[in-house]
Structure 1
Amino acid sequence: MDLTLYDPFEKMQFSDTNCFLCGTNITPEHRTPVFGEWLQQKYKLPDKELLMLDKSVTTYQELTIPCCDHCHAHYVLPLEAEVAEAASKGLEGLQALDQQRMFQWIGKMYYGMLVTELIKEANPLMTPAYPVSEDPKMLGKFSSFFMVLQSMRVPMVFSDFLPCSIFYAEVAPLEDEQPFEYQDELSTMTFSIKLGSAAVTCVLLDNGIIKRALGRLQHLAQGQQLHPIQLAEFKARIYYAAYLFSIIPEYFIRQVKPGDDHLVLDTLIDDVTQDVFNPWETLAYAHMLEEMLKPWGIREQEILQAPQQPLSFLLDAENRFKPMERYVR
């Protein structure tokens, strides 16, 4: 069994002629969809548009990444089939899915968006304000992420950690008009997706630290049906925590011995010489919440009417869960 990892970041090997997962030379027509075909069909996504960082527009159907036939057949399709089966059972099915498989599925979509942006930066429609390929720190972070994402292809055991935080929430049907939603933030490596009433938000490459830090938030949401505006706040709190997260975990492969059929990865986090989180800033959080609340037209001034206690649809004045059936302006 080949336990060799592929590192496209070493030579910035991002093109339409290298498989995204193993690096094999391929022809440009060898592709796999970033968002699985089952997902596109179920939620009628193929012709819906997506705006990229260089201001070009693509559709879900057109959003594909280079992938060799072997990786497509042996790794991508089985993963998509597993998630499709879990998603057919709603939130309960997704929560029951092996967490490493959920990490791989979300990671594949996130990385697909990242690879698409990196390929586009070679010939952009408009040069992005902050090109991903010109930030050494971010490239190092993406390289570490890709190492653990290769658990899709190379059997890999994470020793006492999962390289991400995964949050689940259920959405109440009464005023839910969006059967599918997707958001990501490349720099903080945060990704959220809503499949019917089931919402999943994931912070990649934090080793579960943010989930532990926001444990009370997940506990409050557990067993509740969130109004869509409450889900928006739920995500804003997670996205802002990812924005404050200030360290990059390191991963180390244990020595491979003859006969080994998988890799074992250990991790190290430098929480001695630097803080794990940057200080909370109410104004910065308000900006994040305002962005998430755009569909309701709620602006920063309203969010910060009481600066010491920003507007919340999730929590009451005693920080208890606030049940909500309808949003009334």
Structure 2
Amino acid sequence: MPVEIYHPFQNFNFSNRNCFLSGKPLSSEEEKIQVFPAWLMSSHNLADQSFKMLDESISTYKDLKLPCSAMINEQYLDPLETEVAAAAALGYEGMKSLAELKLFQWAGKILYGIVFNEIQAGIKQQHASGQEFNISQSLIHKFSNLHLMLQSIYLPIVFEDFKPFSLFLFKVNNESNEFVYRDEINTLTFSMRMKDFGLIICLQDNDANRNYHREILEKINGQTLHPIQFEEFNARVFYSAYLFNRLPEYNILPVGDETYIEAMPLRSMSSKPTFDFWQNKVYGQVLENFWKKWGFLLFEIIKNPESPMSFLLDADGNFISATAIELSR
């Protein structure tokens, strides 16, 4: 018998009375889980730290929650969290040993949890002013597909010969107890830097961003990065995710007790290139934000408009060793 896929965006069901993942009714509106797992908040004292929402309101990490059935949490989400927590405790080597699909599911649950909270806040705000809640069809498309794929956490869903995501994992010389989290929900891009690693995932691109950065990846993969190098690559990925101009389409095929998801070719969706034109000035603005800790300004970054400042590659295009980087600021 085919599994039953839940589609919350069909009826726009974002109440606290139904499990966010399965859609099943909950016994109480208090049946919730944290968006950011307790182990992560505890290890980096995040619980009471500010978390800015899209409407500029301020929440805290611990206030971000998801309605979730006790069964789903106990049988599927808790074991996933336990596995990722154990891997993260070991740092880069531990994270590297995890299956990429599990990292995708783990990061996807966090980012979808933020989306869920943003939508709930938006609905309340619009209803308070007597208006209908509006969201673009392209975002509904992206969020729906992410939610569909997150159901692989507890359902026998098979990705047929494709990865729905691009995943980048690097060893990074972070400061002890440093924690940096970034996301962009419009492009479904996730980034986290902690321990001795940095993780970036584009959650809905069918591995397109990884292919886009293939040339530089060949030079930096396997290298230990200085934090400023990781944030440079991070900026590149966040910018390319913005330039990615496809809305991936999928065929959903029930086969016995399993559900197969098949990706439609990205190239056949449009005659134009998969990514819009890269503009160094715009990239420089993104990089300025990612390098805020080190104080580099846009005019410095794009002093040479044809070749923005880089700590990853030298003038000849060769990787710069992290040990060679000395920052006075």
| Alignment partners' CA distance in 1, 2:100 and 2:303 | 40
Question: What are the superposed Cα offsets for residues 86-138 of structure 1, whole Å, 9 maximum, x if unpaired?
Answer: 1122111111101111110010001000000000001239x9xxx99421111
Residue 230 of structure 1: aligned partner:
229
Give the alignment of 1:68-79 within 5 angstroms: 68-79=69-80
Residue 217 of structure 1: aligned partner:
216
| Alignment partners' CA distance in 2, 1:49 and 1:220 | 37
Structure 2 stretches of 5 or more lacking a match?
A: none
- The amino acid across from 2:119 in the alignment is L
Q: In the alignment, is the contact (CA less than 8 A) between 1:47 and 1:59 conserved in 2? A: yes
Residue 3 of structure 1: aligned partner:
3
Residue 207 of structure 1: aligned partner:
206
Determine whether 1:267 maps to 2:268: no
Percentage of identical aligned residues: 36
- In the TM superposition, residue 22 of structure 1 has moved relative to its aligned partner by 0.7
| Alignment partners' CA distance in 2, 1:253 and 1:53 | 32
Number of corresponding residues: 320
- Find the residue that maps to 2:254 and give its secondary structure: coil
Residue 192 of structure 1: aligned partner:
191
1:286 to 1:244, Cα distance in 2 relative to 1, 3 A: same
Moved over 3 A (4+): none
- In the TM superposition, residue 230 of structure 1 has moved relative to its aligned partner by 1.3
Residue 92 of structure 1: aligned partner:
93
- In the TM superposition, residue 177 of structure 1 has moved relative to its aligned partner by 5.9
1:89 to 1:133, Cα distance in 2 relative to 1, 3 A: farther
Question: What are the superposed Cα offsets for residues 167-200 of structure 1, whole Å, 9 maximum, x if unpaired?
Answer: 0112124xx3662111000111100012211110
Question: What are the superposed Cα offsets for residues 134-182 of structure 1, whole Å, 9 maximum, x if unpaired?
Answer: 2111111211121111111211111111110000112124xx3662111
| Alignment partners' CA distance in 1, 2:204 and 2:177 | 28
Give the alignment of 1:158-173 within 5 angstroms: 158-173=159-174
| Alignment partners' CA distance in 2, 1:133 and 1:192 | 27
Residue 137 of structure 1: aligned partner:
138
- The amino acid across from 1:88 in the alignment is A
- The amino acid across from 1:13 in the alignment is N
Residue 17 of structure 1: aligned partner:
17
Residue 155 of structure 2: aligned partner:
154
Q: In the alignment, is the contact (CA less than 8 A) between 2:250 and 2:264 conserved in 1? A: yes
| Alignment partners' CA distance in 1, 2:36 and 2:326 | 32
- In the TM superposition, residue 222 of structure 1 has moved relative to its aligned partner by 2.4
Residue 321 of structure 1: aligned partner:
319
- In the TM superposition, residue 70 of structure 1 has moved relative to its aligned partner by 1.2
Q: In the alignment, is the contact (CA less than 8 A) between 2:176 and 2:195 conserved in 1? A: no
Q: In the alignment, is the contact (CA less than 8 A) between 2:170 and 2:198 conserved in 1? A: yes
- The amino acid across from 1:171 in the alignment is V
| Alignment partners' CA distance in 1, 2:2 and 2:83 | 24
Q: In the alignment, is the contact (CA less than 8 A) between 2:123 and 2:133 conserved in 1? A: no
Q: In the alignment, is the contact (CA less than 8 A) between 1:31 and 1:68 conserved in 2? A: yes
Residue 302 of structure 1: aligned partner:
300
Q: In the alignment, is the contact (CA less than 8 A) between 2:228 and 2:311 conserved in 1? A: yes
- In the TM superposition, residue 220 of structure 1 has moved relative to its aligned partner by 2.6
| Alignment partners' CA distance in 1, 2:177 and 2:223 | 19
TM-score, normalisation: structure 1: 0.92
CA RMSD, Structure 1 to Structure 2 (Å): 1.9
- In the TM superposition, residue 289 of structure 1 has moved relative to its aligned partner by 0.7
- In the TM superposition, residue 276 of structure 1 has moved relative to its aligned partner by 0.8
- In the TM superposition, residue 2 of structure 1 has moved relative to its aligned partner by 6.4
- In the TM superposition, residue 50 of structure 1 has moved relative to its aligned partner by 0.6
Residue 282 of structure 1: aligned partner:
280
Question: What are the superposed Cα offsets for residues 43-89 of structure 1, whole Å, 9 maximum, x if unpaired?
Answer: 22111111111222121122111111111111210110111121122
Q: In the alignment, is the contact (CA less than 8 A) between 1:132 and 1:139 conserved in 2? A: no
- The amino acid across from 1:166 in the alignment is L
